[in-house]
Amino acid sequence: MTTLVQFNEIEKGIGLITLNRPEAANAMSIQLLTDLNECLDEVAKNREIRVVLITGSGDKAFCAGADLKERKNMNEQQVRETVRLIGSTVNRVEALPQPVIAVLNGVAFGGGLELALACDLRIASSEAKMGLTEVSLGIIPGAGGTQRLPRLIGLGKAKELIYTARRITASEALEINLINEVVEKEDLLKRATELAREIAKNAPLSLIQAKIAINKGIEVDLTTGLKIEELAYNELLYTEDRMEGLVAFQEKRQPQYVGR
């Protein structure tokens, strides 16, 4: 049986996770979520992978959110458990130590957009559409959308998008800083890989600590955030990569980081 989540190291240090249910718009079935969690386990402990890309199979959908056809046959307890599974899986994407780039090759609705919001950066095809559409279905975003979207684009605009369940284009998403970049469909993976390559050339331990400092610091007051930054910085003081960076600077060459 073909796995519903595929992983490939497409270049040295750059891993690509692909949601592989194109016939169902890459919707989050229980099996896909199970496969994704197994993949995340492996990626999180793989020190050779410095940057992670996440995309969907095909060119129509990144992820259409929860598998509502599957959910229709669930009882109330099963629905609660599935919603928790989606939320915990999205949280695990955010918790990956490596920087993560969502490569939005098509629609990203509901839980699909929530998955993208848990990534560090988002690049979208010019044909992509996205939205937190849950209130049109009698529910609310349940995998972090009500929390991550306001932190990313501001309270008022987030409320507008959630309350209206509006579906927006990639260009509209770029205008409100929901995504970082829009490119033509045929150039999407190439551009995402270029960005990943630009990140991956840097010290991997520094990337990890920078992500910790940013993600943890944004949740607290400035004084506490500065302390978090100090602690993250101190983790790097006695690493081989820090010394390599200094020597490479002095020798006017590109550093060769090894993640130690």
Residue 249 has pLDDT above 80, yes or no: no
* Catalytic residue check, 134: yes
> Can you give the pLDDT at residue 209?
93
* Catalytic residue check, 194: no
- What would the pLDDT profile of 85-94 be if each residue is shown by its tens digit? 999 999 999 9
Strand residue runs (E) in the chain? 5-11, 14-19, 51-56, 61-63, 100-104, 107-109, 121-125, 129-131, 168-169, 181-183
- What is the average pLDDT score of the chain? 92
Q: CA 14 to CA 210: how far, in whole Å?
A: 18
> Can you give the pLDDT at residue 1?
44
Q: CA 163 to CA 12: how far, in whole Å?
A: 43
Q: Spot the catalytic one: 114, 175, 230, 244.
A: 114
For 131-192, the DSSP string reads E--GGGGTS---SSHHHHHHHHH-HHHHHHHHHHT--EEHHHHHHTTSSSEEE-GGGHHHHH
- What would the pLDDT profile of 121-163 be if each residue is shown by its tens digit? 999 999 999 999 999 999 999 999 999 999 999 999 999 999 9
Q: Spot the catalytic one: 38, 134, 160, 184.
A: 134
* Structural domains in the chain, sorted by start: 5-200 (3.90.226.10), 204-251 (1.10.12.10)
> Can you give the pLDDT at residue 246?
73
This prediction's pTM: 0.91
Q: Which two tokens stand for residue 206?
A: 């520094």
pLDDT band for 96, please (50, 70, 90 cuts): very high
8: helix, coil or strand?
strand
Residue 98 has pLDDT above 90, yes or no: yes
